[in-house]
């Protein structure tokens, strides 16, 4: 299995090292040798911990994908467009199998690439694109294929989970927890794609396609990040017997398919609530297996390398399936549900003027929209310099559309300052 590697960053270099160091083991498992014959990177001279003398170096990865005499191209450059996309397209057009860890590329161009691979009779494999060391693609596409799935998702971003975990476990602020995540290598220098929920949405788009046989559709996913979460929310959640997690969930109902990414309050004794640090968790609900949760490292060179090499070994042994479990033409769109269609419980935090009757006005507006309040609290606390205090409320099960209508009126109250914080409560996770 002659293999070319495009991109020799942390993961790319580790993939090459593992393939060289374990060549005999992998040859036994694949029943054929797997040989790295070509690589491409920006800097040829950089020491990456493996010998280059028997490997052909290409400055242009697209040219390598098109012209190298290989069976397989592994794309580890990253990015939704640009060079990474051209590498994959060139490899497929040249009749070569592709392995990639590029979730952003797949979330935006997965259907186009899957159709191209089918037309050329090659395989597009991407186990490493979702949840790192957790074999989420294998689970949905093969291990649990006997099931009809009703729900898939979970904790799909280690950076966000680390931040919320530190805020809960150590009482750190959001900024302190983010700085720690960056220092520990769990967050990028620019963490915006992580904390905004966009990275989780990329992964959820892929999981939903695999679980429900629908096209990859990033545009239909409602996305909220964790930027608004404060230490006050973490503390209040704990008092309610709950924790705060950023979840990506796709749920198939009789009315249609929900796909959303946003912070949730979850029961403290739920498996997902107890997932620590930068760990990922994939939750799958099927008619035969009920709900199963898989935990593992979602990022890092070794966990990603493990998933990449698993794909390489599958291809070497002849295990080849359509990218999303079905041929692209067989993927069928279903009605899309938006958050306003949701019925559930809600947590609200408002910053209000420290004046009489303010809470009564808020409760009145919620009542006008048929929103029943389960609890409300205006705890004894120091008044902020601007003369405001925090108010916390939870609702009984109600329609989100009603909550949003009430919030529109609440925002207009002169005694309500700043943007209200709404967090959905998910008890079945």
Residues 6+ apart with CB under 8 A from 144: 284, 286, 288, 289, 292
Is residue 22 annotated as part of the catalytic site, yes or no? Answer: no
- For tokens 């008890």, name the residue: 427
Count of CA atoms in the C-beta half-sphere (13 A) of 52? 16
For residue 318, give the 3-state DSSP assignment: coil
Give the integer Cα–Cα distance in Å for 410 and 425. 20
Residue 411 backbone class (left: φ over 0; alpha: ψ -120 to 50; beta: rest) = alpha
Is residue 184 within 8 A of residue 172, CB to CB? The reply is: no
Residue 378 backbone class (left: φ over 0; alpha: ψ -120 to 50; beta: rest) = beta
Give the integer Cα–Cα distance in Å for 324 and 314. 15
Is residue 363 within 8 A of residue 352, CB to CB? The reply is: no
Q: What is the dihedral of CA 60, 66, 71, 73, to 10 degrees?
A: 40
Neighbouring CB atoms inside 10 A of 183's CB total 9
**Which residue from 196, 1, 194, 218 is spatially nearest to 96, judged by alpha carbons?**
1
**Which residue from 100, 123, 94 is spatially nearest to 323, judged by alpha carbons?**
123
Neighbouring CB atoms inside 10 A of 167's CB total 23
Q: Which position among 103, 198, 203, 245 bears the catalytic label?
A: 203
**Which residue from 325, 304, 309 is spatially nearest to 123, judged by alpha carbons?**
325
Q: DSSP letter for 385, please.
A: T
- For tokens 């089918």, name the residue: 118
**Which residue from 314, 278, 331, 3 is spatially nearest to 135, judged by alpha carbons?**
314
Q: Between β-strands 279-286 and 72-75, what pairing exists: parallel, antiparallel or unpaired? A: unpaired
For residue 190, give the 3-state DSSP assignment: coil
Q: Which residues are catalytic?
A: 203
């Amino acid at each position: 299995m002659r293999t070319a590697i495009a991109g020799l960053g942390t993961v790319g270099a580790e993939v090459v090292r593992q393939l060289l160091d374990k060549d005999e083991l992998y040859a036994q498992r694949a029943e054929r040798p797997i040989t790295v014959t070509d690589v491409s990177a920006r800097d040829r001279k950089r020491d990456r911990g493996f010998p280059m003398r028997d490997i052909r170096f290409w400055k242009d990865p697209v040219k390598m994908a098109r012209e190298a005499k290989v069976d397989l191209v592994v794309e580890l450059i990253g990015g939704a467009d640009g060079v990474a996309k051209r590498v994959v397209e060139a490899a497929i057009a040249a009749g070569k199998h592709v392995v990639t860890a590029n979730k952003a590329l797949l979330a935006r161009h997965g259907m186009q690439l899957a159709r191209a691979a089918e037309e050329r009779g090659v395989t597009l494999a991407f186990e490493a694109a979702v949840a790192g060391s957790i074999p989420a693609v294998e689970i949905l596409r093969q291990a649990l294929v006997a099931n009809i799935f009703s729900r898939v998702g979970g904790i799909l971003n280690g950076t966000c989970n680390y931040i919320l975990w530190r805020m809960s476990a150590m009482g750190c602020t959001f900024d302190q927890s983010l700085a720690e995540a960056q220092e520990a290598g769990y967050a990028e220098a620019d963490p915006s794609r992580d904390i905004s929920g966009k990275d989780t949405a990329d992964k959820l788009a892929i999981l939903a396609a695999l679980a429900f046989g629908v096209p990859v559709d990033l545009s239909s996913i409602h996305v909220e990040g964790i930027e608004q979460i404060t230490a006050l929310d973490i503390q209040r959640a704990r008092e309610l017997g709950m924790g705060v997690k950023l979840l990506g969930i796709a749920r198939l109902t009789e009315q249609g398919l929900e796909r959303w990414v946003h912070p949730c309050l979850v029961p403290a004794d739920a498996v997902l609530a107890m997932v620590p640090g930068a760990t990922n968790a994939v939750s799958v609900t099927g008619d035969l297996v009920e709900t199963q949760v898989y935990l593992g490292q979602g990022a890092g060179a070794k966990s990603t390398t493990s998933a990449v090499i698993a794909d390489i070994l599958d291809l070497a042994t002849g295990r080849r399936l359509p990218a999303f479990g079905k041929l692209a033409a067989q993927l069928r769109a279903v009605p899309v549900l938006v958050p306003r269609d949701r019925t559930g419980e809600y947590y609200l935090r408002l910053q209000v003027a420290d004046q009489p009757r303010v809470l009564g006005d808020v409760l009145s507006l919620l009542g006008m929209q048929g929103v029943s309040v389960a609890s409300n609290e205006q705890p004894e606390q120091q008044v902020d310099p601007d003369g405001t205090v925090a108010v916390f409320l939870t609702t009984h099960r109600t329609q989100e559309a009603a909550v949003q209508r009430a919030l529109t009126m609440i925002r207009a109250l002169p005694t309500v300052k700043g943007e209200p914080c709404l967090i959905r409560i998910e008890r079945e996770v």
